[in-house]
Structures are given as C-alpha cells and as structure tokens.
Structure 1
Amino acid sequence: MSLVDTSSIDCVHQRLDRLSSKRKLDDYSPTDDDFTDLVSVRMRKDEPNAVHSSSNATQSAVVQARVPDVRSLSCNAFARGESSRSVSRLQFFVRMISEGNTLVVQANSEDTVRSLHERIQVITGIPVIEQRLIYRGKQLQWEQSLADCSIQNDAGLQLVGRMRSTEHPQAWQAIDDMVSSICRLLRGERPAPMKCVKAQLGEFLKMTPRNDSESAASHLQIFMSSSAPAALVMLYMSPIKGNKECADDSIRYFLNSSRSVLPKPIHTHCAPIVLEFCKLLSRTVHEDPLYLSCRSTLGSLVETIGVARGSKFSETPKALIALQEIFPFVNELANRLSKDLVSSMDSTISMGPLLSDVRDFTAFLIPLRTAILEQVGLQGPIAMPIQKGSYNHPRYGEEEIEFLHVLYTDLLRKMDQCLEKMEGCLPLKGIGEGETSRSGWSQYLAILKELNSISKLYLGAEEHFWTILRLRKTSVCALIIKYAKRTEDNRWLLEHKDVTDFESRRHLTMMMFPEVKEEYEELHEMLIDRSQLLAESFEYIARADPESLHGGLFMEFKNEEATGPGVLREWFFLVCQAIFNPQNALFVACPNDRRRFYPNPASKVDPLHLEYFSFSGRVIALALMHKVQVGIVFDRVFFLQLAGTNVSLEDIRDADPGLYNSCKQVLEMDAEFLDSDGLGLTFVREVEELGSMKVVELCPGGKSIVVNSRNREEYVNLLIRNRFVTSISEQVSHFAQGFADILSNSRPQKVFFQSLELEDLDWMLHGSESAISVEDWKAHTDYNGYKETDPQIFWFWKIVGAMSAEQRKVLLFFWTSVKYLPVEGFGGLASRLYIYKSTESHDRLPSSHTCFYRFCFPSYPSMAVMQDRLNIITQEHVGCSFGTW
C-alpha cells in the first residue's frame, strides 16, 4: 500500500500536462529536405516585417530570400518562379542581422552583380569592396549578370559584408566558410579535405577571446547569428552518406570544447548554443545519443550558471538562458524517471532509472529550486494548493511552484512503491546477490536525495518525506550499504539517524576516511622497538604530514621478521592499550565501566600532553580507517564533546558517580532547607592540582554567590561544565584536530561523531562484547593438510571449547592479531580462518601467519600433547607477537 496520497494524482497529471504544454520546446520537425522550411517553421512566430531602409549598420549583413530570421540559411533555399534568360524583374529580401530588419531589393535579370552591390551600398552603407554575395554556396562574380548566375525571382541570396567597425571579422569569415561547406555537403558535394566542417569549427573556437568575457560572448553570438547550429543539425539529419557522421563529430567537438578547451569563465556563454542544439534535435531524434549528449552538456552548464549566479540566475540583465527554457527538460526527465521507476519494480525487467537521467535531472533542478527559494524568500515553506496571487513575478511564479510540486508528488509516490517492493525482495537474498535483477535499484538513493531537496520548499512535505523513509527503513539501509559512494555528499542521510541502522551509519561514516591503499610506494613505513612502543609510535605518527598517513601504513618491529597487516593490527592494539593506560596520565577510566575513558584534566603533568592528545586522535582515526577493533571505548562525556553537544547531568553518571549523586541530591533537596544555607554551598569547585587543593569559581564572583532553590539548576550546570568541559577543553580540542587530520579533506570531526550513536562507536572501536563463540569460530575455519574428520581437528576444537574466555582471546590474537572481534563476529573479519598442517616435529609449538589468518601445527600424537602446546601459547605474555608473517 503506497504511503503517498494518490487521490489527486489524475488531476495533478492534467495540470502538469497543461503546464508542460506551455513550456514545451519549440514545435518544429525538420523532416523535409528543404532547410529553409525547417527554420522558418520554428521562427514564424516572431517574423519581422520587411523594411526598405536601415539605420547606420555596424555589423555584418545578410541578404537572403524567404528566410525570416537571422538563424535561417538561404544557401539551401529553393528559388520560386519561372527561369528565363529574358529581361525580367527580380525581387530580393535582405535581412539585416544586427537590427533584425528585412530589406527588399529589386533588380532586372540582366543587371550585373556589381550593380546590385552598388545598390546595396546605397541602402546599407557597406562599401562595395567589402561585400560578397553568396548564392547556393558560391560567391557571385561582379561581371556576371543575375541571369548568368541562374538567379530566379524570390531567390535566396546571402550577402556577407564587413564594415570597418565590425567586431570579430575573422570569426564571421570562419563561420561563413563552415556554413558554405555544410551547404555543399547537403547538395552531395564533397568539400576539399582542408575545409572539413570540424576543422572550420575548430578554427572558429581557437579565435574565441580567452581573457575578455564580453568579447567572448559577442564572438560566440556569431555562431548563433549565422545559423550554424541549425546547419549542423540539418547535416546530421541528411540522408547523404557521411553527412550524419560529419555533423555528429563536429557537434560533439563543440560540446567537448565548451567544457575542456575554453576557459571556465567562458563556459556559460556556450549554454545558449547548446540549448539551441537541444531544441533542434529534441523533436526529431529525441532518444538519439547526440541529443542526450547535448542535454547532458546543457545540464552541466546550467548547473554551473546556477551555482555561479546563485539566486540571480534568471534575473541578470543579459540572462544567458531564461528560467522557463529549462522546464521542458525537467519535465522530460521527471517523466522518464517516473516510467523507469515503474519498470524497475517488475522482477522480469532489470533496467531502472539511468545514471545520466538522474544526473541531468539534478543539474536542471538546481536553478529551478534556487529561483523558487528566492521568490518565496522569508515567507517559509509554501502551502499547497497556492492561493492565487501569492507569488506574482514577472519571470516566474505560481505555475513554476505548482509544476515542481506535481513532479515531486508523482516521483515520491513511485519511490514509496519501489521501496515497498524492495522490502519483499531483501529477506530472500542479500542485496549483494542477484545483481542482474537488482540493477534497477542503483539510482534510487540519488532520486531520494533530490526529492529531499525539493521537499524543503513545501509546507509539510519534508516531514512527510522522512516519515516514508522511516517506514521504509529496511530498504533505505540496504540502498545505503550498496550504493552510497565515497565521492557523494551524504550529509542529508547523516542528519537523520532515525532512518538508518548501525551498519548503514558505519558505512556512511567510514566513507569520510580516505580509502586505504595497498601500493607499497604510498605506505607510511614504521620500524618500532617494542620497549619504546609509545614514544617511537608518537614520533612516527604525530610528526608525520597528515597526507602521508592517508595512503596506508607499513609496520615492522625491530629485530622481528614478521611484517604485513597482521603486525599492523597488533601494533594498533598495543599502542592503544598504552595510550589509554591510566599510568600514562592521558586518559581516566570511568569507575563504573573500566573500558570507558575520557581525557585526564591533570594530563598537564606531561609537558607534551597536548601533542600526545593530537597523536591519540590520529591513532584512533587510523584504527577506524583500517577497521581494527582495539578494545577501547569512549565515555559519553568525551563522545558528546567531540560531537559538539552539551553535557547534561545524566551524561556524567558513569564518569563520576559521586558527583552525579551529589548533584541529584541538590536538585531534589527540600527548597526551604536549601534556602537556609544548610549546605553552605557557593558557586565554586575545589580541584586537586599537583597534590594540593585549589578553589575555582564557576562564574565571576562565584565565591560570594550562595546556592539556593532558585539558582541550583544553574549551579549544577556550571559545575558539570567546569568539571567535564572547561577542565579538559584543550585536551579535547587537540584530540579532535588529530582525528580530523585523518579524515578526507580535513572535514570537521564533529560531523563524524554527530552521525553516530555512542553504541555505534563502541562497536566500531571495541568490537563485539559477546563471548567468543566456538561454533561461530569453527564455522568460519577451513583446513589445509587436515580434514575436518581428522582426530587432531576434533581434539583442537574440544580443547578450545574448554578454554576460558580470556584464553580464547589470546589464542585468537596469536592466530590473527585480532583480540576483539567485529560486532558481526567471525563473519565480520576480512577473510575466513585457516588451520594448516605443518611438517615439523611433534615437540614444536604451533605457529601462525597473522596476515592470512593461518594457524599451523604438526600432527600431534595425542590430545594431551596438543593441549600442553596450546596452553603455552595462550599465556598472555607468550601469545603476543609469537606469530610470523
């Protein structure tokens, strides 16, 4: 049953259809071979009236017939009327590009081309010497008559003229040459190899000014004014062999150049050209790969414009793309996603939403959301349905707001159905299995992220969105574990821990660390003397550049042959035990839970104590990054400070039971007795420092402020703050900085800890708190040289089953360098465990290869002999560092 209200879906779709019809791309379908007809249909709505004169022209002029827009091409127009060598009256329509006017020029068929040039000079002011008349791709010679040139009545001529004040004359020439080449190709002619379309386009782009944005914009406008996009699209649709490939290659060259060759400040000026390609291609070749490439490029450009211009995207005086022009793409992509979501629910269809569609949908939504947010301003989320007249705006308003809400409602309903369908599939198989049938799920998380962003715009929508995700928690967590990527911004999920579980939260936070690399050249090498473990580890870690620790670690103990991951795991365990050893005065163990620690306020007895806290932060972060359980957990007061959260009375229960009980008594004490100053309390705290007692005021003048029933809550809060925040603020700050050094891009450590529950961090740092299960151990062990039915294997598991919990930990540590299992048990280890049969004599002790989780022992003759050997290696002082690589 869908959780989204579907009662008004049909009505919503009708409104969407009406709205999208207003926003649809210009309706033209260039299926004719007549290129003029193709263009004129699109531009008929704003065809200007012909005029017979013009003001002073400062740009290029084009003389052409039957072509009602600057983007039209006359070179492929068909002449109308009877052809005759007799003297006849001809009429020409002259289009002035710079001013949008059309001139009408009349002449006799026997008039020379030169005389026509002279008449044009009188009208436009363009000197004859700077004029060229083009007819069907060929330049007309001065001495020819119009009849010699086979010019008929209403023929389409093109005048390319350059006045002295014209900008970018070489660019005009380059594009004119390219268009002429296209015209020849459309007629079946083959231009010279040196004049190929792509080369001419490249020549034009090389001329683009790099350091002047305004000049670059006027340069690129030439591409539009000369109808180059329309010419290339016509070439793409041409049935003549080779033309489609030529156009495809040229258009893709422009798309790539707009992002990779031209400087970033110039990229946005390419957007109108790419938009023109999309419009021209969309009606005829909608599913064509070239259209999809153009749409994707436009999306990336629009996304950049939206970010660069912010809320002023559509309000700039010379807006590159009107906001309304992106609506057809948003509508198109939303409809595609909606259909693909439906298909992904069909178990017989593996396909679902495409990555390219989701990526483009995201890009086009950015300026749309930004514009709506600007319109709404400080009014807050929008209540739907909108009361008419609430959002009047000259460029956008109620229709745009309703348009996006309709898309959001439809997609959220479909996503709810998809997540519900997932829940029925997950119990049957793990999400990692059956990938072919589940590939349709891959874009669900990205679509949910966009829907979350849209939900913030509408009143009640965000709460409804997260209600759905909470009820579909199983599916959401499965998507996170499988499809959340390190390169993505996952904060929208991290901020809502109630829709995630431990595994998904662990996955999201672990992606805040760099990916551990195995390449030897990138490893940070350490050679440490066991007798100087803490001091030498400090030098290797605290003094290292943080970047050098991101690649990985290579660990070796002096005078020992063993190296590799097993030794590294052992080092992590040993160095953490040393850091949190109370004798080193860095951390204090909680009286009620000796596993838990928080910074020691008296750590300043060591002059390097703050540097050691930075070192400790790095070590803990590295242990998490390398997925090593070190058997240490933080007390709540320490965890909350790392997360940037206030510490309350209930939070100090384990850290200082005595203070907790005293504060509870003060808060619950009879008000009359407290007001009588029966306790004699003031706003001070006594602190032991270097063997002597010191009085610390909790606030200015605290010695003279008596605690009473009215201020006792303030007193308790200040007391807790001084004891657990102020007194260790420097230590916490340095630990946090050390931890942040290891995170990717030096992210604030607060985000990491805010994304977890304290119990999550316990499981990640300490591991499983359950006793080691022999059955689980046995189920995850394979054999080499032995068979499961051999007596030695039977004896081995019987002996392990009779061991104490601590002996099993030591044996496991000897075998794997793992003393604390992951919360998943043996199934959470990097690989299965192995028992190898060694060829050594019976008097030898077992050995191990901790890197590969291998435990080796010879074929002992009796269970008593085996138990004697195992008893030796399960002694704490022997079990450590007895293995080999």
Structure 2
Amino acid sequence: MGASNSTPYLKKSKSYQGLINLILASCPFCPKKFFIGRHTEKDVDMHLNEHHNETKEDQAEISAKDLCMKERIKCVRENFKTIRVDWKTNKPVFLAVYRNFILDCMPELNLLTNDQLKSEFQICFVGENAADAGGLTKEWINLMIKALFQNNIGLFEQTQTEERTYMIKKNCNNHELFKIAGRIIGKAIFEGIPLPVRLCPILIHHILDKKDFSLEHVKYIDKFLYQGLNFILLNNIDNIIFQTFSVDLDNNESENEIIMELLPDGKLIEVTDENKDVYVRLMIDFATSEIYKADIKSLKEGIFSVFPEYMLKGLEPLDLEYMICGKPKINVEDWRENTLYKGKYNENHQIIIWFWQIIEKMSQDDLGLLLAFATGSPSVPVEGFKSLQTVRGDLILFTIEYTPYFPNALIRAHTCFNRIDIPEYESKKLLKDSIKFAISNSSMEFNLE
C-alpha cells in the first residue's frame, strides 16, 4: 500500500465529497460493518434493501434465484443438453494421451472448435488396454486439473485459509495456459464431472461475473492485507495510519516504483477516519479483481468456449461451486443408500457388511480416493450419490458386483459404469487390504472398462 508520511492534509472539496458519495452509492456490495458507527442499523438495512428499476432480464434472473439450489443447477444442466453435440450422430473427439506426460495434449486441445468441445471425447491412454465409455474421460479431466494446479506450473496456488481452495497466482499473464485451463474446467462443468480441487470463492464469483466482494474474501488471498483493512475499519485511524488512496505495485522486474491510484489523484488524497470506508471498499476491489483481471479474462474465455456464459445466469456462487467441485464431504450413509448389488451380493451378504464397516472408518481423503477409483471422480454431485452419471448424462448408481475369489485377487473398477467388482474374500482383513491397495494405486494404470 502506498504510504505517505509527508503528504499534507487535504481538505475535502465539494467535488471530492461528491465522488465519495457516488462510490458509496454505486458499490454493488457494502458490508454492514463498514457503516456501523456512522449510520444506524436501520439506515444500513434500507441501503441494502433498496429497490431499483428492473429489466425483464433482471426479473428472469430474480425468478431463477427463487428456485432452490438443486432446481437451479438442474435448469442449467437441462440447458446444456440443448447445445450438446449428439454422440450418436457425430464423430467423437479422439485424444491419445500419455499418462506420465498428461499436459502434452494441450496444443491439440487448444485447436478444438467450440462444437468439438461440446462433443463426446474418446480418451486413449497410450500403452493401456482400455476402451473409453466415459470413465477414461473423467479420469483424464481429473489428471489434467491436478497437473494444471500443481505449484510448479505457476497458474494456481492454494489460498491462505484453512480451506484447501485454489486461486489464480498474481500477475501470471499467461493467456494461452489459462485459456486451456478454462477449457478443461468448462468441459468438466458441461459434462457434470466434479473436479479434484476446490476453487476459491473469489474465482467462483468472477466466473459468474459477480462483484459483491467483501472483506472476508480478502482473507483467502492476503491475510496481512485483511488484518490491516480490518484494523482500519475497527479503529479511529487519524494520526495513526498515514496512507493515501494508492497502491505500491510490487514488480521485481522493474527498478522503478509503480504506483496505482485507487481514485483520480489518489496519491494526493490521505485516508482518514472519515473516508476510510471508501478506501477499504476500493482496496477490496483492487485485491480481489484488478490484479487478476487479465488472467481471469483468459480463464473465462476458455470456460465459455464450451458453453455460452448466459447459461449460468441465475446461479448463486455456492451453486456453481457445487457444480464444479461437488459436495465438500462424502456422506457414507448416502453412499450406502444409493448402491446397487449384482450377482450373489446383497446388503446382507458378509462381504457387503464388511465393506461398509471398513468404509465408515475411512477418512474423507481416502473416501475420495476410493470414489475416484470406482467412478473416475473424487467428488459427489450436489444432488448426492443418487445422481452419479456417465459423461453421456445417463444415471448409473454406484454398483458392487460379485466376482469369485482366487489367491491375490484384487478389486477391479469399471469407471465408465461407476462399478467395482469385489472378490468373495475369505476374511475382512483381505477385503480391507484390497481396498487399501486400490486407493493407494488409483492413479496407476488399470485395465479399466
């Protein structure tokens, strides 16, 4: 932040005060605590609930928001079906990829047309004997996302909160890579494939083109800035904070100091206890939007090359987060209630009883690995296990099928059909060891069907 100990106190002219009032009036989101101490709670509520003239599009969006989350998401998915390129009448997009060099397919992915991105993909892992009926596509998307979100790639980084979410790295300016990452994320949204990482709420807001950022959002990307702005809001800062309406941009590639002004002539305007609300509002916008602008534009360009942006209109940020990332936790009881059994197995068979006893004691991380082994994705759709589906949109519940036991027999996965084959083990320990082996080797080559 651009400090200035020598800047003289500037009296507020009428034009300056008018600018301040304009900013306050036009802010898309003004948290209550920004006003406490200056206005009554009643004043704040009146401001937040103020109605404006609404267009037909605005009214349609408000109507959509009245629906519950599941209905809003269902509406979006129904819209996706109207633009999907039918796999029965159109040739699928074939991609031959190397598991150990998964990102080598990016140039080919970048050349695909918008119609091809809406088509079914056929993924072939070179050197593996497997036909793709959807399971390999899910696995490929998950592997691509994991690779693109690795820290050494330099596109994304973990946020500074206890939640394991990811945000774009500051000032990456890598248009092509973000566009490709956007295409993968867009394809996952389009196909209903939950991602193996959770996106930062700031990024979710930007995808939906929402600007209602609060101070709590800053906590994800800069905890020291969050603490500083919170201190400014909660304390009288006159003669304590010497700060102007400007930001010192840290640029290691330049020896010259680069200052960005938050207002016209901002480096000449001191932050005072009277105008600090405006300063905090502008700093929130800068921290959550301005420094990511170019990269977010590229990411969104990639996402919306798969489907048009208007199809997400009406979604709330939490709706999209669940669409992209699935439910944050795996509910074992929901999993059990939405499981089918084939062959000799039923819910009262000893193998099935042992299976659920083992599953109930597993950590969330291990549950995700087992789910990825069985379905190709480590997360559950927002509607729960009853909505597991193939990439063609067919609902297929998680299924456990009987297979005879022989020495060293392992559990087999059929990710295209959300199914695992479990041998009829002679003991609970053998079953537990086989499950452990499956989740510890879920990223290795398997002859998946």
TM over 0.5: yes
Equivalent position to 1:503, from 59, 70, 75: 70
Pair 779,627 (structure 1): closer, same or farther in 2 beyond 3 Å: closer
Alignment of 1:9-408 (within 5 A): none
Deviation at 1:845, TM superposition (A): 1.4
- Aligned partner of 2:200 in structure 1 is 635
Distance of 1:495 and 1:506 partners within structure 2: 15
Equivalent position to 1:626, from 171, 191, 199: 191
Deviation at 1:720, TM superposition (A): 2.7
Query: Does residue 799 in structure 1 map to residue 362 in structure 2?
Result: no
Which secondary structure state, in structure 1, belongs to the residue aligned with residue 305 of structure 2?
Answer: helix
Which digits, 9 at most, give the CA deviation of each residue in 1:525-572, with x for residues without a partner?
Answer: 111112221242x22322211221112211121111222211111112
- Aligned partner of 1:526 in structure 2 is 95
Deviation at 1:688, TM superposition (A): 3.1
- Aligned partner of 1:762 in structure 2 is 321
Distance of 1:685 and 1:490 partners within structure 2: 37
Q: In the alignment, is the contact (CA less than 8 A) between 1:809 and 1:820 conserved in 2? A: yes
Which secondary structure state, in structure 1, belongs to the residue aligned with residue 124 of structure 2?
Answer: strand
Deviation at 1:524, TM superposition (A): 1.3
Pair 705,669 (structure 1): closer, same or farther in 2 beyond 3 Å: same
Deviation at 1:742, TM superposition (A): 1.1
Equivalent position to 1:821, from 380, 383, 387: 380
Distance of 2:274 and 2:366 partners within structure 1: 56
Alignment of 1:860-879 (within 5 A): 860-875=425-440, 877-878=441-442
Deviation at 1:583, TM superposition (A): 3.1
Pair 828,688 (structure 1): closer, same or farther in 2 beyond 3 Å: same
Deviation at 1:764, TM superposition (A): 0.9
Q: What is the one-letter code of the residue matched to 1:527?
A: A
Q: In the alignment, is the contact (CA less than 8 A) between 1:814 and 1:850 conserved in 2? A: yes
- Aligned partner of 1:728 in structure 2 is 292
Query: Does residue 580 in structure 1 map to residue 149 in structure 2?
Result: yes
Q: In the alignment, is the contact (CA less than 8 A) between 1:516 and 1:550 conserved in 2? A: yes
Distance of 1:618 and 1:766 partners within structure 2: 16
Pair 669,865 (structure 1): closer, same or farther in 2 beyond 3 Å: closer
Distance of 1:578 and 1:692 partners within structure 2: 31
Q: In the alignment, is the contact (CA less than 8 A) between 1:784 and 1:836 conserved in 2? A: yes
Equivalent position to 2:220, from 632, 635, 654: 654
Distance of 2:163 and 2:142 partners within structure 1: 17
Q: What is the one-letter code of the residue matched to 1:522?
A: K
Distance of 1:808 and 1:564 partners within structure 2: 24
Deviation at 1:502, TM superposition (A): 0.8
Pair 492,742 (structure 1): closer, same or farther in 2 beyond 3 Å: farther
Q: What is the one-letter code of the residue matched to 1:759?
A: L
- Aligned partner of 1:667 in structure 2 is 233
Pair 822,686 (structure 1): closer, same or farther in 2 beyond 3 Å: same
Alignment of 1:692-707 (within 5 A): 694-698=257-261, 699-707=263-271
- Aligned partner of 1:119 in structure 2 is none
Query: Does residue 741 in structure 1 map to residue 305 in structure 2?
Result: yes
Deviation at 1:883, TM superposition (A): 5.2
Distance of 2:129 and 2:77 partners within structure 1: 32
Deviation at 1:625, TM superposition (A): 0.9
Pair 496,856 (structure 1): closer, same or farther in 2 beyond 3 Å: same
Q: In the alignment, is the contact (CA less than 8 A) between 1:846 and 1:869 conserved in 2? A: yes
Distance of 1:500 and 1:579 partners within structure 2: 34
Higher mean alpha-carbon deviation, 814-823 vs 685-694, is at 685-694
Which secondary structure state, in structure 2, belongs to the residue aligned with residue 864 of structure 1?
Answer: helix
Which digits, 9 at most, give the CA deviation of each residue in 1:255-276, with x for residues without a partner?
Answer: xxxxxxxxxxxxxxxxxxxxxx
Deviation at 1:762, TM superposition (A): 1.6
Which digits, 9 at most, give the CA deviation of each residue in 1:710-736, with x for residues without a partner?
Answer: 443333333333332221111111112
Deviation at 1:847, TM superposition (A): 1.1
Distance of 1:708 and 1:832 partners within structure 2: 60
Q: In the alignment, is the contact (CA less than 8 A) between 1:586 and 1:599 conserved in 2? A: yes
Pair 556,715 (structure 1): closer, same or farther in 2 beyond 3 Å: same
Pair 788,771 (structure 1): closer, same or farther in 2 beyond 3 Å: closer
Equivalent position to 2:277, from 713, 719, 733: 713
Deviation at 1:629, TM superposition (A): 0.7
Unaligned runs of 5+ in 1: 1-461, 464-488
Distance of 2:444 and 2:324 partners within structure 1: 20
Structure with the higher helix share, 1 or 2: 1
Alignment of 1:540-551 (within 5 A): 540-551=108-119
Pair 712,808 (structure 1): closer, same or farther in 2 beyond 3 Å: closer
Q: What is the one-letter code of the residue matched to 1:558?
A: V
TM-score by length of 2: 0.77
Pair 846,668 (structure 1): closer, same or farther in 2 beyond 3 Å: closer
Which secondary structure state, in structure 1, belongs to the residue aligned with residue 372 of structure 2?
Answer: helix
Deviation at 1:512, TM superposition (A): 4.2
Q: In the alignment, is the contact (CA less than 8 A) between 1:834 and 1:854 conserved in 2? A: yes
Q: In the alignment, is the contact (CA less than 8 A) between 2:166 and 2:198 conserved in 1? A: yes
Deviation at 1:660, TM superposition (A): 2.4
- Aligned partner of 2:249 in structure 1 is 687
- Aligned partner of 2:22 in structure 1 is none
Deviation at 1:648, TM superposition (A): 3.7
Q: In the alignment, is the contact (CA less than 8 A) between 1:529 and 1:558 conserved in 2? A: yes
Which secondary structure state, in structure 2, belongs to the residue aligned with residue 741 of structure 1?
Answer: coil
Choose between structure 1 and 2 for higher RCO, CA contacts under 8 A separated by at least 6 residues: 2
Deviation at 1:774, TM superposition (A): 4.5
Unaligned runs of 5+ in 2: 1-52, 390-395
Which secondary structure state, in structure 1, belongs to the residue aligned with residue 283 of structure 2?
Answer: helix
Pair 547,654 (structure 1): closer, same or farther in 2 beyond 3 Å: same
Q: In the alignment, is the contact (CA less than 8 A) between 1:634 and 1:762 conserved in 2? A: yes
Which digits, 9 at most, give the CA deviation of each residue in 1:574-633, with x for residues without a partner?
Answer: 2122223333221233212543333222313xxxx2111111222111101111111333
Query: Does residue 564 in structure 1 map to residue 133 in structure 2?
Result: yes
Name the count of aligned residue pairs: 385
- Aligned partner of 1:552 in structure 2 is 120
Say what the alpha-carbon RMSD is for the aligned residues: 2.9
Q: Percent identity?
A: 21
Q: In the alignment, is the contact (CA less than 8 A) between 1:587 and 1:600 conserved in 2? A: yes
Pair 864,634 (structure 1): closer, same or farther in 2 beyond 3 Å: closer
Which secondary structure state, in structure 2, belongs to the residue aligned with residue 654 of structure 1?
Answer: helix
Alignment of 1:447-526 (within 5 A): 493-513=60-80, 514-515=83-84, 517-519=86-88, 521-526=90-95
Q: What is the one-letter code of the residue matched to 2:153?
A: N
From the CA coordinates, give the structure whose radius of gyration is larger: 1
Which digits, 9 at most, give the CA deviation of each residue in 1:229-264, with x for residues without a partner?
Answer: xxxxxxxxxxxxxxxxxxxxxxxxxxxxxxxxxxxx
Deviation at 1:517, TM superposition (A): 2.8
Distance of 1:778 and 1:516 partners within structure 2: 34
Which digits, 9 at most, give the CA deviation of each residue in 1:725-759, with x for residues without a partner?
Answer: 2211111111122122111xxx3x2x345411111
Q: In the alignment, is the contact (CA less than 8 A) between 2:249 and 2:260 conserved in 1? A: no
Pair 725,809 (structure 1): closer, same or farther in 2 beyond 3 Å: closer
Q: In the alignment, is the contact (CA less than 8 A) between 1:642 and 1:753 conserved in 2? A: no
Which secondary structure state, in structure 1, belongs to the residue aligned with residue 158 of structure 2?
Answer: strand
Equivalent position to 2:422, from 857, 867, 879: 857
Which digits, 9 at most, give the CA deviation of each residue in 1:689-708, with x for residues without a partner?
Answer: 34888542224544333222
